Amino acid sequence: MKYQYFFRYIFYFFFIFYSNSALSIDNLNDKVKKLTLELRCMTCQNQSVYDSDSDFAKDIKTLVEDKFKEGLSEKEIKVFLTKRYGEYILFKPYFNIKNLLLWLFPFILLILSLGFFIKGLKKY
Amino acid sequence: MRKIIKFVPLILLIVVCGFFLLFIIFEKDPSNPPSALLNKDMPKFSTSSLYNKNIKLSSDNLKKNVHLSVNTNVATTEDNLEKYTLINFFASWCTPCRAEHHLFFEIKEDYPNVFLLGISHKDSPADSKKYLNEEGNPYSFVGLDQNGKIALEFGVFGLPETFIINNDGKIIFKHMGQLTKKIIEDEISVFF
Amino acid sequence: MISLIGFSSLCLSTFFSILFLIPNSIFKINIKFCLLFFRFSTILICISFSSLITAYITSDFSNFNVFQNSHSEKPLIYKIAGAWGNHEGSILLWLSMISIYGFLYSLMSKSLDDFKINVLKIQSSIFLIFAFFIIFTSNPFLVNSVEVNEGLGLNPILQDPALAIHPPMLYLGYVGFSLVFSLGIASLLSKNDDKNWLIETKRWSMISWTFLTAGIALGSYWAYYELGWGGWWFWDPVENISLMPWIVGLALVHSLIMTRGEQAIERWIIFLSILCFSLSILGTFLVRSGILTSVHSFASDASRGLFILLIFFLTTGFGLLVFLVKSPIKKNHLNLLLINKTSALIINNILMIIAMLTILLGTIYPIIIEVLTNTRISVGGPYFNSTVLPVLLPGFLLMSIAPVLSWQSNKIKKFRVYVVFFLFLSFLALIHSYFTVFNTWGFLGLILGSWIILASIISIILRFKFLISLNYIKSINSFIAHIGVGLMILGITFSSIYQKEYSFNISIGEEININNNILKLENIKVVENKNYQSLMAIFSLRKKGELIDYILPGKNYYPVSKMITTEAGIYHDWLKDIYITLGNEEDSTWNIKIYLNPLVSFIWIGVCIMIFSGFIAIFKK
């Protein structure tokens, strides 16, 4: 079975993909960039805080920087912000019961359709 | 099973259209998201008066059973044990603030028990004073928020914004943007 | 006067399409005569739209629509573009296109049978619904009650060459799917088992998809240089909305390759045809009703939203109902082989549909949540990147070898060659990532993109003939398209992951050195244009002492609408773009942002290749 190679490689891809997603970032600037990219600039239209130059975005940028300096984690800053601005400020919604459908839907569909596809395969 | 799958697209269509319809019927405004702070405790803050730096007002002053005696050269509120607080964020550079300003005189007149707290947002004290001289000062107390920290605590992002806080220190109303007479009659007057 | 001509021809056109819809058995007129009604209707709607354009060109401010959206001191091209730069005009354009597509179909399809009449009747019904929508809710021919001699001006953001032709392109794509929809429904309704509709669907879906690609690419290129923060795709709701019919159209075009008489696949094709057009209407609804916030500005209105929602519901509901009732009961199972072209195409279709559904869910989820819980959430880029991309990954991997798979057997020809090259490429990519900062997505994108290109080139070489003829290009067309996708993946990966960003405060005469590119702020000047003022910074770009080019970032101020737009200055190179935006002045120093965007050009080249191969495929039998 020559095409085994392909599956092995697909497996490698996903292995690399998932094992490396949690690289730690030490640099303060990078941390601020990573977080502010996921925050909505509330006064702009669909722009992230990082990309925007508006007053609001500037305030949030300094706030995030200060909070990181105070030693808060990314999660704690997000909680701080959502308490005040609502979940609307997060471009990446929390993984909670309310958003369960949102997050699981694509992967459930993927598994279901894989099942149907395998069922349709000719037995030989 | 197969029969159910056949109907899935139609059901999905109806459900999706239903949500759109409800969204339009409820008159949800995409540019004005619901506040996260509504029905929550008001954030803690402390501010000093525009007219006298030594006079301070903190969020604790606005709660029930706290004796409030604020001495400004504008207004004096004492012994208001049953009081609601209206907080209005304004600035001299903000045009809609100017447009809604006269309404606070009406509120002051109609509901004398309401403690009107104006917060001058990211504005120099001199400009704010000038603004209040020109337009008049309806506020019971004018607090300073030059670096925007209080606004940040309140989740303010577009001036003007108006909050109403009840006896227990809970935020019961929030409006972003210019107030109108209609809003005061329909939404604000029910509280007092 | 011109408004009157426009409106009356619009009404007449509607009248003729009603005449066309009256069943033949009532009047007992010749079928050819019947066809004339349809063609009259098209000609009249064209007259109607041209009279709107004429009103714009002549700045006829007695027309309310012109008054609101135009200004006499605009360059001619933006006067014309103003005709579709607003809600009413753009819907009229949409309406004319529905009719024109039907007209072209009636000319190009030679036969004259019930099927053709059915297609045109469905097309005509769609036309009628939208015509009523225009007449009752968004009439562009309203006359101003007071006399005015100057207009309010077009939104300055829209005064841009790419954005001027972006809406017609996009609409050519969206509306083209209406004909595909009509073809699908008509084939369900027709009694005989003619396969003619498949050929027609193939042609028209290819045309629509190609235009849609061009339209989306133009919009995204505009966002790249106009919005001024170095990106070109923001997962903005309006962008998602255009992407959904595009993906389904792509699935449709691919599934049309595998028609070998299987009923299951034919039904699937019809389903996709219905889906394509309903997603196009859904897009119009979401944009025009104003229930989404977006970086792309539009005139929007909720009451019109209700009407379009109704149109969306009726059209889609009708399509799905006919599909349910009329689809044949006869079952035949697909016999799938594992490594086989049909399987590859089915996997590709499934993945695309899942991707589309994910984008759809992400786009409308905030609406659902707000209705249910009265809280608002955002679903933005990070969500789509972490769901849609993993779903599409296996599809991209499959894409590289799918065209060489066989239809019948379970084998790949010259399999060993592919494996050797794949291993070699992975090795190269590993070395590359060893010397640069390792990034999972970067690594995956690099490997996928280059593998797709390499595999397609190998396949072309393996079947190489020394003939550069149109037929030869047609035979390797799928590989060409896939090379385009590969280039695009490389461009996307590099420009988003290895983008570098610098921020400076500099004064005139100062120099900046970025990777041996010396940028000098030569001057800042104000230029008066016909309808705007522009503030322009002049940067000279030098490399090793040699002057290469000038980069001109700036801002435009439009006095009529009192708006400022940013204009990024871009130096295009094959391997990287130097992208500069001008910020504010503080103490005679200027805040500027410089982005080094590697391989952005690959994205546009890739798209151009895809469009090219789309046009080739239109002529492919």
Q: What does each C-alpha distance from C322 to B35, C251, C550 come to in angstroms?
A: 45, 21, 60
> Does the pLDDT value for residue B76 go beyond 70?
no
> Does the pLDDT value for residue C41 go beyond 90?
yes
Q: What is the mean pLDDT of residues C85-106?
A: 92
> Within an 8 Å CB–CB cutoff, is residue A20 touching chain C?
yes
What architecture (CATH level 2) is domain A27-92? Orthogonal Bundle (1.10)
- C259-272 core/surface letters (b: 16 or more CB in 10 A; e: else): beeeeebbbbbbbb
In chain B, domain spans? 35-191
In chain C, domain spans? 1-157, 502-601
In chain A, domain spans? 27-92, 98-124
Hey, are the CB atoms on A84 and B36 less than 8 Å from each other? yes
> Does the pLDDT value for residue B1 go beyond 50?
yes
Q: Are B60 and B80 in contact (CB under 8 A)?
A: no
Place of tokens 């229930």: C291
A97/B118 Cα distance (integer angstroms): 39
B173's tokens: 């109303």
Burial class (CB in 10 A: 0-12, 13-18, 19+), C123: buried
> Within an 8 Å CB–CB cutoff, is residue B157 touching chain C?
no
Q: How confident is the model at residue C43 (pLDDT cuts 50, 70, 90)?
A: very high
> Within an 8 Å CB–CB cutoff, is residue A109 touching chain C?
yes
- Cα-flanking dihedrals φ and ψ of residue C585, to 5°? -95, 135
Q: Which residues of chain A from 91 to 110 reach within 8 Å of chain B, CB to CB?
A: none
> Residue B143 pairs with which residues in a beta bridge?
B49, B119
Q: What is the number of residues in chain A? A: 124
Best of C276, C298, C320 to disrupt the B interface (most B CBs within 10 Å) is C320
Determine the pLDDT at residue C302.
Answer: 62
Q: Give the distance, in angstroms, between the CA of residue C564 and the centroid of all CA atoms in the same chain.
A: 27
Chain A CB contacts of C362 under 8 Å are 102
Which has the minimum average pLDDT: A22-31, A109-118, B123-132, C408-417? A22-31
> Within an 8 Å CB–CB cutoff, is residue C364 touching chain B?
yes
> Of C481, C410, C414, C413, nearest to C452 (Cα)?
C481
> Within an 8 Å CB–CB cutoff, is residue C312 touching chain B?
yes
pTM: 0.89
Cα B85–Cα B88–Cα B94 angle in degrees, nearest 5:
175
Q: How confident is the model at residue C59 (pLDDT cuts 50, 70, 90)?
A: confident
Best of A36, A61, A92, A116 to disrupt the C interface (most C CBs within 10 Å) is A92
Q: How confident is the model at residue B169 (pLDDT cuts 50, 70, 90)?
A: confident
The 10s digit of each residue's pLDDT in C524-535 is: 888 888 778 888
Which has the minimum average pLDDT: C34-43, C88-97, C152-161? C152-161
Facing residue for B30 by CB, picked from C271, C292, C375 = C292
> Residue C277 pairs with which residues in a beta bridge?
none
Facing residue for A59 by CB, picked from B34, B37, B152 = B152
Determine the pLDDT at residue C330.
Answer: 56
> Of B182, B171, B159, nearest to B85 (Cα)?
B171
Supply the DSSP string of C499-559, one letter for each residue: -EEEEEEE-TT-EEEETTEEEEEEEEEEEE-SS-EEEEEEEEEEETTEEEEEE--EEEEET
Q: What does each C-alpha distance from B38 to A83, B155, C358 come to in angstroms?
A: 11, 11, 31
Beta-carbon contacts of B102 under 8 Å, excluding residues fewer than 6 positions away, are: B135, B136
Q: Are C532 and C516 in contact (CB under 8 A)?
A: no
A65's tokens: 């920087």
Q: How confident is the model at residue B72 (pLDDT cuts 50, 70, 90)?
A: very low
The 10s digit of each residue's pLDDT in C225-254 is: 887 777 788 888 888 999 999 999 999 999
Chain B CB contacts of C289 under 8 Å are 20, 24
The 10s digit of each residue's pLDDT in C485-516 is: 999 999 998 888 888 888 888 888 888 888 88
Determine the pLDDT at residue C74.
Answer: 81
Q: Spell out the alpha helix ranges (H) of chain A.
A: 4-19, 28-37, 55-69, 74-85, 100-120
Chain B CB contacts of A63 under 8 Å are 152
Decide: helix, strand or coil at residue C410: coil
Q: Which residues of chain C from 554 to 613 reach within 8 Å of chain A, CB to CB?
A: 583
> Of C149, C155, C148, C76, nearest to C560 (Cα)?
C155
CA-based nearest distance A108→chain C, Å: 10
Which of the two residues, C206 and A23, has the higher pLDDT score?
C206
Q: Are C21 and C124 in contact (CB under 8 A)?
A: yes
In the chain, the amino acid numbered C492 is I
Facing residue for B17 by CB, picked from C290, C309, C368 = C309
CA-based nearest distance C191→chain A, Å: 30
Q: Please state, as a whole number, how many other Cβ atoms lie within 10 Å of the Cβ of residue C397.
A: 20
Q: How confident is the model at residue A44 (pLDDT cuts 50, 70, 90)?
A: confident
The 10s digit of each residue's pLDDT in C566-598 is: 888 888 888 888 888 888 887 788 888 888 888
**What mean pLDDT value characterizes chain A?**
77
Supply the DSSP string of C436-486, one letter for each residue: S---HHHHHHHHHHHHHHHHHHHHHHHT--S--SHHHHHHTHHHHHHHHHH
CB pairs < 8 Å spanning A and B: 32
Chain C CB contacts of A17 under 8 Å are 390, 440, 444
CA-based nearest distance A112→chain B, Å: 13
The 10s digit of each residue's pLDDT in C152-194 is: 777 777 778 888 889 899 999 999 999 999 999 998 888 776 7
Query: Could you say which of 3.20.20.140, 3.30.1330.40, 3.40.30.10, 1.10.10.10 is the CATH number of the domain covering B35-191?
Result: 3.40.30.10
Determine the pLDDT at residue C335.
Answer: 65
> Within an 8 Å CB–CB cutoff, is residue C368 touching chain B?
yes
Number of H helices, E strands in chain B: 5, 9
> Residue C591 pairs with which residues in a beta bridge?
C505
Which of the two residues, A19 and C445, has the higher pLDDT score?
C445
> Does the pLDDT value for residue A15 go beyond 60?
no
Facing residue for B158 by CB, picked from A43, A82, A88 = A43
Beta-carbon contacts of A25 under 8 Å, excluding residues fewer than 6 positions away, are: A31, A34
**What mean pLDDT value characterizes chain C?**
85
> Within an 8 Å CB–CB cutoff, is residue A42 touching chain C?
no
Complex ipTM, two decimals?
Answer: 0.85
Chains touching B, CB cut-off 8 Å, 3+ pairs: A, C
Name the closest residue on chain A to residue B156, using Cα atoms: A85
CA-based nearest distance B40→chain C, Å: 14
> Within an 8 Å CB–CB cutoff, is residue B16 touching chain C?
yes
CA-based nearest distance C405→chain A, Å: 12
For helices C161-189 and C302-326, give the axis angle rounded to 10 degrees.
Answer: 30
Q: Are C297 and C155 in contact (CB under 8 A)?
A: yes
C505/A20 Cα distance (integer angstroms): 37
Which of the two residues, B63 and C320, has the higher pLDDT score?
C320
Q: Give the distance, in angstroms, between the CA of residue A83 and the centroid of all CA atoms in the same chain.
A: 20
